[in-house]
Structure 1
Amino acid sequence: MKDPLYICVHIPEFPVQALLRLRPEKSQSPVVVVEGDPPLEQVSSANVRAIQLGVAHGMTGAELEMFSGVSVLRRSAVEERVARSVLLETAARFTPRIEIQRSAGTAFVMALDMTGTSRIFGPADRSIAAIARAMKPLHFFVQLAASANLHAAVCIAPSARRQHLVIPTGQEEAHLRRLPLAALPLTAQQTETLSLWGLHTLGDLAALPEVDLVVRLGQEGKRLRLLARGEHPHLMVPEEPAFSLEEFIAFDAPVEMLDSLLFVVGPMLDQLLARAQNRCYALASVTIKLGLDGGAEHERTLKPALPVAQREVLLKLLYLDLQAHPPSAGVMNIFLHAEPGDRSKVQMGLFAPQLPEPTRLDVTLARIAALVGEDRVGKAVLLDRHRPDSFKMERFTVPKSVVKEETARHTIALRRCRPPVNLSVQREGRSLASFWFNSRLYKVQQAYGPWRRSGDWWSSEVWSREEWDIQAAADPGNSLLCLITHDLLGDRWQMDALYD
């Protein structure tokens, strides 16, 4: 049987760390998080620099005014939810068995069951180092502890401030005995009772006789004693987080400058790309939803031709898109959602010429669309209609499969005249006799038609015309095969196409 191993990830002051994750420029200054309705806000979390100044939980806004240089942020439940999902996704790289632990304070605590992973990540100290390296790009300060007992790891993790701790198997009680009783999940009544007994540390509680403790506190007393000794068993109930690429940030005041918005969007894209790359994905699409001042929303979606993993490319595409479609008011919050996609790999031939990067195509098209309009950029797709030259513009996409080349066949090419050339036609009865084209008089030798076509009679774009396939000649050495049309509504003859 494999030796059990549990690693506890303890993130103190989680509300402020969740906000600073996307505001790295404020991480080196004192920051506090307040919650409540103004003017009754109270401090719910603070970073280390603010605590060193003397800021404490429960302080009011008036008390915070005594501290200079302190940044005040409002608590955001959405950003905390996104931050939790980011942490769970990162931890899932090491084990699928993850359980969130209840915390009495503002810390976020989760336990990882690393049993049986020594051949992958090595012993406990190397596993802790690997987890710490994975958490570092997320801009979280984490405290890690490893033990064969889950509760022992959870209790000692808050004290791992300077270095991560590994408790050898069988030495749980020796490492826990110096911790205060606050390390255990005690109720207010239990705290008061143990204080009246003169108990201050877990070692004091572990030294009490089990029978006497059960007589006074019941089975709950036995549980607390086992927790203090690092011997309480645990039935793990793993979390099952859904994989989603989302980021959210809110502002205290409306932001109107596009450059200021992109300055904030940059770190959000970094987080999305890091989480996608952890699963060997790129970003196939990015949707940005801007919450505007007044309650309205402004939403835009980018879909590159290929999944993108470059931050600079996505930022440039967002800049060009928002420049062409600016929000109508100041921005109060930003929500980013991305869809993952497989990373594109192109196998080039040994002697094949180097092709342009696919990511440069998206930036080029976005710049052209900003100049001429989005409805004028893309590829032309024929519509399923009878009207000639009816088409729509669609965005460029890279086909997933290679199209097989068909064997060339000898066919007649039809070359459209764009725009069609107006003609002067002479008729003999219902047949065509001759017409002027390119300052020459062509006499009709053979004519096939007319073929009548019409459509859109229910709209203002109604059309109706006749088509003729003509063989004509101006002189013995100058003949042509062509398609001539007659607009029945406008009574206009035109040269529509030439046959090769």
Structure 2
Amino acid sequence: MSTDRRSRVLALWCPDWPAVAAAAAAEIPASSPVAVVSANRVVACSATARAEGVRRGGRRRESQARCPELYVARADPDRDARLFEPVASAVDEVVPGIEVLRPGLLLLSARGAARYFGSEEAAAEQLVDTVAAVGVECQVGIADEVSTAVVAARHGAIVPRGSGAQFLAPLPVAELSAEPSLAAPERVDLVDLLVRLGLRTVGDFGALSPVDVASRFGTDAVLAHRSARGEPERPPSARVLPPDLEVEYRCDPPIDRVDAAAFAGRALAERLHVTLSAAAVACTRLLVQATTANGEHLSRTWRCAEPLTPEGTADRVRWQLDGWLTGRSENKPTAGIVLLRLEPVEVVSAGALQLGLWGGVGDEDERARRALVRVQGLLGGDAVQVGVLSGGRGPGERVTMLPWGDEPVPDADPSAPWPGRLPSPSPSALMPTRPEIAVTDESGVAVQVTERGMFDRVPGRVDWGSRSWVLHGWAGPWAADERWWDLGATSTARQVARAQVLLEDTRALLVLHDGGRWFVEGIYE
């Protein structure tokens, strides 16, 4: 196929979308400095925050020190997808047939838009105005290939036909990993290696021989090399789809709540995965459709760089349903959903998806996951929770409990120093009510912890309710000055200390000293 006849791709990119969505959700001006954090690291920030020195990858405390007015929000893919739906709907009204790569980035065919509006430049201007009418800023890029169009959108450029390689050549090689929805997770490591090898620009990497790249690096590097050379990428699938791959779910009664829709969508994603596995294929482009009780038909296509796993399918279905049911789009349904339908639009061989030893993608894990999803469907979303390692000083603070299926984002960074943190091992059982006890020396005088974080006398006994034990040993204390910077009238600052004490019956307790009193925080069994 000649270059002139190749279909062109238009990418529409909303800069800093997680930060834009966080500001919209908090109802604060878009011009405010905003940072979105995950595990106490900045993953996205607004242009205003960057002007104050906030950077992606920076620590939360450092960012707040650089910009005291910074509004900090937790990363929330559901929020990002829900608030992006009005943008996607507005673009789809103007040019039907969009494909969402992720919240904040979508693709469409430039050919139809250019024909309708007269030129690619006119189409780009019209789409920017359309998105601006929704209250969002965006940039448009047009090129021959998807990855080039996405890079062009970041620069607000329209790349002439056949000039993709020339456009990319002077750009930093980091542009190849700037969009995670188009690259494998190891792309960041590849870019780091290329820089250390002296390949600073995309053109330097593209100048390498394809044979050398294929023999030295992995599959994703070959795809990145093709992108750098402006060579044709994955086209629309010419593979004939096996019959009866689509799955649907009839909702009785109609679904009008996001949690109920998410459970139905997750079960439907499981059924789709089973159907695809039986046909030995995996989905790379998914059409999500819904029909309401009033006969409204909603649909959206999600394009993926890699074959979808059951978890990836469930995430996209949940995001889309959340956007339809609670979004701010003018096309918000006027009645509950009575029919959900998932249809694979593009598939690849199942060999592109890593299979477990006994077939399926982690077959045993899949069975366990389906059981948990079933319990969630019966008891509610918060009924099944899993622990995620978090940051903190006490054992209870180091676990963030999240509903099964949510993104495992801890409340605090577990890799931070956390002075005064309890050393390993952690107690085998935690006491949620923290019963009060008395810790005394051998003569019965209460033991306290000094301002220097030391016992004022040697612990000798523990009295817990009507029982009393002689101590056979102890370790600590580990003192922690928590929220020392909070000096207001409603200050929550406090000085606490933890210690491990060994009872005469060989059991050990984790005890907490707080406000001159002792409490049992955990038990070592």
Give the TM-score category using the shorter length: 0.3 to 0.5
TM-score (norm 1): 0.43
For the pair shown, which has the larger CA radius of gyration, 1 or 2?
1
Greater share of residues in strand: 1
